[in-house]
Amino acid sequence: MILDTDTMTVSTKGTLPRVPFLAIKEKILGKKYELSIRFVAPAEAQALNQAHRGKDYIPNTLSFPLSETSGEIILCRSAMRREYKSFDMDYDTYLIFIVIHSMLHLKGYEHGSTMERKERDLLALFT
């Protein structure tokens, strides 16, 4: 299934989850930012993680800035399904959290208290 707008494409082999992808993108990255979000199988996520980061594990997400005004997010549902309970969230909330987290990386944020504060504030807006 594919969601396609002028500035965003979301693709998956299954059903698209009920996530306000466009609203989150516009809030964090802006209306003109061009974003591709792909849900991939674990093997592809792991291969991308190894090729681009030198890490040999299945990541829940990878964020790739392509330019100042475009980027790509890779999401792996099976990794997220294994993790969401340890974050004390239901799966749908955790998926929104990971999307927010990924977009903040595209915006230039690095892990730390500032990013965590932004994540909490944004999660409250979209859940």
The string of pLDDT tens digits covering residues 57-88 is 999 999 999 999 999 999 999 999 999 999 99
Contact of 19 with 99, CB cutoff 8 Å: yes
The single-letter code of the amino acid at 76 is C
The string of pLDDT tens digits covering residues 36-61 is 999 999 999 999 999 999 999 999 99
Distance CA 71, CA 125 (A): 23
Alpha-carbon torsion 45, 86, 13, 108, what sign? negative
Q: In DSSP terms, which residues pair with 61 in a beta bridge? A: 75
Q: What is the pTM of this model?
A: 0.93
Q: What's the CATH number where 8 sits?
A: 3.40.390.30
Domain that holds residue 18: 2-126
Contact of 3 with 9, CB cutoff 8 Å: yes
Structure tokens belonging to residue 36: 């591709």
The number of domains in the chain is 1
